[in-house]
Amino acid sequence: MIAAVLEQKVWVESGGQLFPNLYTFLVGDPGLGKSRAIMAASSIIREHVPDTFFGATSMTRASLADYMVEAKRFLPNIPYAPIEYNSLVAIP
């Protein structure tokens, strides 16, 4: 969820820009609390970061592309040209 909030507004210079992109999978037996952890983190972002773009819980390739187009962002890069990127949170 930290990477979802940071989007591409924060990076580290390491021979280029390194963004905090995270792909996290919670794996375990049923009933261990994976869904509770996901829903708790999701509700925090939905409540405190209202302009976050969330995808649907089940998407086709075409609908994922549609969600990504809607999740367009512009980052002012003064004095240079603005940076355009797409940021989508996908929680199954």
Residue predicted with more confidence, 16 or 66: 66
The domains of the chain are located at: 2-86
User: What integer is the mean pLDDT of 76-84?
Assistant: 82
For residues 90 and 24, is the Cβ–Cβ distance under 8 A? no
| Beta-carbon contacts of residue 54 (< 8 Å; ≥ 6 apart) | 42, 46, 88, 89, 90, 91
Model confidence pLDDT, tens digit, residues 13-32: 888 888 877 777 889 999 99
